[in-house]
Amino acid sequence: MYQSILSAPGDLFAELDRLRREMQQSFGGLGMPSSIRAVTRGSFPAINIGSTPKSVEVYAFAPGIDPDKLDVNVDRGLLSISGERRSDLPEESGEVSIYARERFAGSFKRVISLPEDADPSRIEARYRDGVVHISVQRHEPAQPKRIEIR
């Protein structure tokens, strides 16, 4: 009886999606993130963030970094991971030519917004096998609690 807007003649939405893909391919995103939660290509260190009922878990993948050169701070609900990664490549000169430089080198900083129930006084950070694992505990009242019915 009624036609769905999704099945419009000529499949308008499919055409718009095709146009978006072609523009993305042509312009390459111009180095901009693809979504609100994404970061630009090459952001370092790469991170994974997850949560449990009792904590927020952050994994930052930073291979080849001296743990003494890493700095983890929390200020006003923002967790920052910063440091520096030195380059092992020799400086380019008349005798040395570098053809590819894909590994990030230099100073870096990543900032993560923590949820409101995160407790900044209860944070642990560990570095093992190139991965920084940061565990931020949640405030006690924010944790789920089973109420017994009498």
Helix (H) or strand (E) holding 79: strand 78-85
110 versus 4: the higher-pLDDT residue is 110
pLDDT number for residue 75? 93
Q: Give the list of residues 6+ apart from residue 50 with CB closer than 8 angstroms, or none.
A: 56, 57
- For residues 44 and 85, is the Cβ–Cβ distance under 8 A? yes
Q: State the number of CA atoms in the 13 A half-sphere of 102 facing the CB.
A: 1
pLDDT class for 9, splitting at 50, 70, 90? low
Q: How is residue 124 written in tokens?
A: 């642990």
pLDDT number for residue 41? 52
Per-residue pLDDT for 93 more than 70? yes
Report H helices in the chain.
12-27
pLDDT above 90 coverage of the chain, percent: 38
pLDDT class for 99, splitting at 50, 70, 90? confident
Q: Give the list of residues 6+ apart from residue 54 with CB closer than 8 angstroms, or none.
A: 137, 138, 143
**Beta strand 55-61 pairing with 78-85:** unpaired
> Is domain 42-88+102-150 annotated with CATH 3.40.640.10?
no
The ranges of the chain annotated as CATH 2.60.40.790 are: 42-88+102-150
Per-residue pLDDT for 7 more than 60? no
Q: What is the rounded average pLDDT for all residues in the chain?
A: 80
Q: Give the list of residues 6+ apart from residue 71 with CB closer than 8 angstroms, or none.
A: 80, 81, 82, 83
